[in-house]
Structure 1
Amino acid sequence: MNAQPTPAEAATGIPAGVFCAQDYEALAAKALAGATMAYIAGGAGRDQTLDANRAAFGQWSIWPRLLRDVGAGHTRLSLGGPALAHPLLLAPVAFQTLVHPRGEIETARAAHATETCMLASTLSSFRLEDIASAGGPTRWFQLYFQPSRDATLALVRRAEAAGYGALVVTLDAPIQPASLRALRAGFRMPADCVPANLAGLPAAPATAEPGDSRIFQGMMRTAPGWDDFDWLRAQTRLPVWVKGVMHPDDAAQFVQRGAAGLVVSNHGGRSLDGAPASLRALPAVRARVGKGTPVLFDGGIRCGEDVFKAMALGADAVLIGRLQVYALAVAGALGVAHMLKLLREELEACMALAGCATLADIGPDCLLPKPANAESPQRAADADLH
C-alpha cells in the first residue's frame, strides 16, 4: 500500500519521508539528541528482551486468502465499555515533555482526532486533569501503586473525577533496571521532567537499614502485593485492568480476583532483561483465561502486520508505545495522529489481503510459522537502527 503523504497532507505539516508508520522512528533519531534517543529506544540491561520483542514477529508469516468479500469490512470493537473505532490504543508513556514541550497534551489531541483510546501515565509531565481536557471521550488512567494507600487512593479519585473510563494498574516494574545503552550514551533525565500527578504527595519513606539489601529491603520494600490489588478493586467502580501479565498462572489469578482485563507486556523490554518476548507469552495467557477475558498486547509493534499477528495470537487490541513517542518528537499532535492513521491503514490492508473483514475473523489459522533458521528482513533492518 502506498502511504505517501498527499499534497494536502504535506501542506499541513506532515514531514517529508514518511511512507509508513515506522518511518517516524528514523526521523526521531535525527530530531532528538543521541542520549535521549538511546533512552527511549533502549530497554533494560543488555536489551535482550527488547530485541526479543521485535524478533518474535519475524517468526510468523500471514496467509493470504483469495476471493473473500471484505466490502463491509471495519475495525470496530468493544473492550467492555464504549465502542472503539479501531484496536490501536496509545500506551502509557511517562515524561513526554522529554521529546516535545507540550508532551501528553499533544498526544491527547491526537487521540481525540483519531478516535483513539489514550492511557495517561501516572508519571506524565502534565496533570491527568489537563490531559483529560485535551483528549477525547475515551481515555484510561495508568496507575502505579504509591508507597501509601492514601496517596494511591488520591490518584484513583482524581482519575474518576476527570472522567477516565478504566484504571490500568502496572505491576511489572517495582524495580526498573537501568538501560546500559542509555547509561553509555550519557543520558540524564532533565530536571524539569517531573511527574506532575505526584506533586504534593508524600515521598517514599527511607528504606534500607545498614546491612540490608538495596534491592530486597530497599527498592522492593513498598512494592504492592495481592492484598493491595484486592484493596484497589474494592475502592473503585471503574474497571481495573492489569498491565505486565506474562505468566498464565498470574493471568488466571488476576481474573479470579476480578480484573476487568489483562495487558500482556514485558514493559517494552524495560523491566526484567531476559524475559520472553510478549508475543511468545500471549498465546499461553489467552489459552488460560479463555475468550471471555479481554486481553491487550504491548511490546514491539511497528507496523500493521505486527498488529495483525498479535491479534491472531490472542490479543483483542494492542498498545502503541515507542512509535507514539517517535511521532510526537517529530511532529507533535499531527505526527501522532498521522502515525495512527498509517498504522490503521496498514492493518486494514493486511486484513483485506488475508481475507478478514472484521477483527473477529483474525485468528491463529491466519498465521504460518516460519522455519526456525529464517531471519526476517525486518529484523535485519531494525538492527541497523540500533
Structure 2
Amino acid sequence: MTGGFRFRLTGRTPPLDVEGWRRRAGRRVPPMVWAYIENGADTERTLGENRSAYRDWYLNQRVLTRTTDVDLTTTVAGTRLDLPVAVAPVGLAGAAHWHGDLGLARAAERSGTRMVLSSASTYSIEEVARGTDERHWFQLYPWGDRALTASLMDRARDSGFTALFVTVDVPVYGNRLRERRTGMGLPPTLTPRRVLQAALRPRWAYAYLRHRRTTLRNLVPDGTRGTAVESVTVQSENLTADIGWNDLEWIRSRWDGPLFVKGVLHPDDAERVVDLGADGVVVSNHGGRQLDAVQPTVRALPAVAQRVGHRAEVLVDGGIRSGADVAVALALGARACLVGRPAVYGLAGGGADGVAEVLRILREELVRNLTMMGVAASADLAPHHLTPAPR
C-alpha cells in the first residue's frame, strides 16, 4: 500500500453512534461543504423520508436462543465481504477531508468490505488502485461522450476494479437548493463571506490549501491537477437526458465483469436491466438528491427484491444510519447495503480512521441487534424477522 497518510484518530473520545459523527462532521467543514454533504432536492421530502421510512418496521426480539458468534459475511459481485455494508460512491469526497476517496477505500478494506469509487472522485482511479491492497468497485455515469465513458471503463478495468456500478438516475442534476444558496452550484461561487466561513475552520482550510483535493481527478488531463471548476464543468457538460436502454446494452458489451445498475426504484425497470445482462441492481434515489417526492428506498426495496432477487443481487442505499436500519434492509430483500453520508460523516470528522469508526459502529450495532433477535447470520434475515409498525 502506498500513500501519504496513516490511520490515526486523535482528539476527544470518538462519537458513539452515526449521529454523533454527523454532528462532529458539521463542526469540521465550512457551511458550503456541509450543504453539499447534507442537502437533498427541492423540499427535501425524499431526503427526510429515506430516514423516517425505517420506522415503518419493528425488529422481532426472541429470547433464550443461544445466539453467539453472529455471522455477517456475504458475497457481492463475486467478492466475499465480512460486513454486509459497503461504501457508496461519493463525488467530491476530498472536500470533506483531504483523505478523500483513498481514505474511504482504505477504511472499507480495513473493515472487511469494499468501496464503490465515484467517477467524480478527487483521487484518480489509478491513485486509489495504487494506494489500496484490495480490489474495489467503480461507479460510472452513462455520459453523452462515449469516448470518455469507454476511457473510464478501460482505466477501471486496467487498474483492477472488479465490478462496475452504472448510475442511471442523473439525466439532469436535481434542484439542490441548499447547495445553490451556499455557493456550491455549477460552477461553485465564492464570496468574501464564504471565504471567511472557510477560514473559521482552520484545520479544513489548511488541508484544502496544502492538498488541493477538490478537483475531479478522473476528468482532467492525465498527469495534471487541473482545477475544480474545470473538472466539474466537464462532468456537467457530459450529463445528458438523451440516454436509453441501448446505452446500457453498449456498456454491458464493453464490461466483462459484474455489472450493477444503480438508481432503480421500479420493479419493471429492475427486471429490464437484469434482462439486459446486469448482475445486480441498487435500489437508490441518489440519497434524495435527484427527484424529490419519489418513494424512499426501503419502501421500494421489497417489490424490486421480489421481482428480481432470484436472478440478480439486490443492494440498497439511502437513509441508513444504524445497524437496526441495516437489519431491516437485509430482511426486506437486500443482499447488502451501501452507505454514503455516514461514511462521509466519518471522513469529515476524522479522516480515514473516522470512516473505519463509523463502519465499526454499524458492525457492532448489527451484531448486537441480531443477537437479541436470535438470528445467527445476517444472510438469514427475512421478512418474518420484522413486524410492521402501525401508521
TM tier, smaller: 0.7 to 0.9
Residue equivalent to 1:159: 156
1:21 positional shift: 2.7
The CA distance in 2 between the partners of 1:14 and 1:231, in whole Å, is 49
The CA distance in 2 between the partners of 1:99 and 1:335, in whole Å, is 12
Residue equivalent to 2:76: 79
CA gap of 1:362–1:40, structure 2 versus 1, over 3 A, is same
CA gap of 1:223–1:324, structure 2 versus 1, over 3 A, is farther
The CA distance in 2 between the partners of 1:14 and 1:260, in whole Å, is 43
Asked if residue 182 in structure 1 is aligned to residue 201 in structure 2, the reply is no
- TM-score normalized with structure 1 length: 0.86
Residue equivalent to 2:277: 258
Contact 1:263 1:298 in 2 (8 A): yes
Asked if residue 368 in structure 1 is aligned to residue 365 in structure 2, the reply is no
Asked if residue 293 in structure 1 is aligned to residue 312 in structure 2, the reply is yes
1:173 positional shift: 1.0
The CA distance in 1 between the partners of 2:269 and 2:12, in whole Å, is 43
Contact 2:28 2:349 in 1 (8 A): yes
1:148 positional shift: 1.9
CA gap of 1:221–1:62, structure 2 versus 1, over 3 A, is closer
Residue equivalent to 1:33: 30
1:252 positional shift: 0.4
Contact 1:309 1:367 in 2 (8 A): yes
Asked if residue 332 in structure 1 is aligned to residue 351 in structure 2, the reply is yes
Contact 1:14 1:331 in 2 (8 A): no
1:259 positional shift: 0.3
1:221 positional shift: 4.8
Residue equivalent to 1:280: 299
The CA distance in 1 between the partners of 2:34 and 2:138, in whole Å, is 26
Contact 1:22 1:303 in 2 (8 A): no
Asked if residue 172 in structure 1 is aligned to residue 162 in structure 2, the reply is no
Equivalent position amino acid for 2:246 in 1? D
Stretch of structure 1 that moved more, 241-250 or 100-109: 100-109
Equivalent position amino acid for 2:218 in 1? N
SS of match in other structure, 1:51: helix
Contact 2:145 2:238 in 1 (8 A): no
Stretch of structure 1 that moved more, 180-189 or 302-311: 180-189
1:281 positional shift: 0.3
Residue equivalent to 2:208: none
Which residue of the other structure, out of 122, 127, 143, is the alignment partner of 1:125? 122
The CA distance in 2 between the partners of 1:205 and 1:322, in whole Å, is 24
1:66 positional shift: 1.2
Gaps spanning 5+ residues in structure 1: where? 1-10, 207-217, 373-386
1:14 positional shift: 6.4
The CA distance in 2 between the partners of 1:88 and 1:129, in whole Å, is 24
Q: Kindly provide the CA deviation profile for residues 296-335 of structure 1, in whole angstroms up to 9, marking residues without a partner as x.
A: 0100111100100111111110001001111101110110
SS of match in other structure, 1:126: coil
1:223 positional shift: 3.4
CA gap of 1:108–1:290, structure 2 versus 1, over 3 A, is closer
Residue equivalent to 2:266: 247
Gaps spanning 5+ residues in structure 2: where? 1-7, 191-211, 223-229
Q: Kindly provide the CA deviation profile for residues 189-222 of structure 1, in whole angstroms up to 9, marking residues without a partner as x.
A: 479633111123999999xxxxxxxxxxx99756
Asked if residue 150 in structure 1 is aligned to residue 147 in structure 2, the reply is yes
- Find runs of 4+ consecutive structure 1 residues off by over 6 angstroms: 201-206
The count of aligned residue pairs is: 352
The CA distance in 1 between the partners of 2:120 and 2:239, in whole Å, is 19
Which residue of the other structure, out of 92, 103, 107, is the alignment partner of 1:106? 103
Asked if residue 321 in structure 1 is aligned to residue 318 in structure 2, the reply is no
Residue equivalent to 2:207: none
CA gap of 1:190–1:334, structure 2 versus 1, over 3 A, is farther
Which residue of the other structure, out of 29, 40, 46, is the alignment partner of 1:43? 40
The CA distance in 1 between the partners of 2:280 and 2:310, in whole Å, is 11
Among all aligned residue pairs of Structure 1 and Structure 2, give the percentage whose two residues are the same amino acid.
38
Equivalent position amino acid for 1:149 in 2? R
Equivalent position amino acid for 2:141 in 1? Y
Q: Kindly provide the CA deviation profile for residues 97-138 of structure 1, in whole angstroms up to 9, marking residues without a partner as x.
A: 111123112222212321221100000011011112222314
Contact 1:14 1:338 in 2 (8 A): no
Q: Kindly provide the CA deviation profile for residues 153-208 of structure 1, in whole angstroms up to 9, marking residues without a partner as x.
A: 111111011111100000011112221223234445479633111123999999xx
SS of match in other structure, 1:291: coil
SS of match in other structure, 1:67: coil
Q: Kindly provide the CA deviation profile for residues 332-375 of structure 1, in whole angstroms up to 9, marking residues without a partner as x.
A: 01100111111111111111111111122211111111111xxx
Residue equivalent to 1:307: 326
1:69 positional shift: 3.0
Equivalent position amino acid for 1:240 in 2? L
Equivalent position amino acid for 1:111 in 2? A
Contact 1:86 1:116 in 2 (8 A): yes
Residue equivalent to 2:252: 233
The CA distance in 2 between the partners of 1:346 and 1:258, in whole Å, is 35
Residue equivalent to 2:220: 199
SS of match in other structure, 1:61: strand
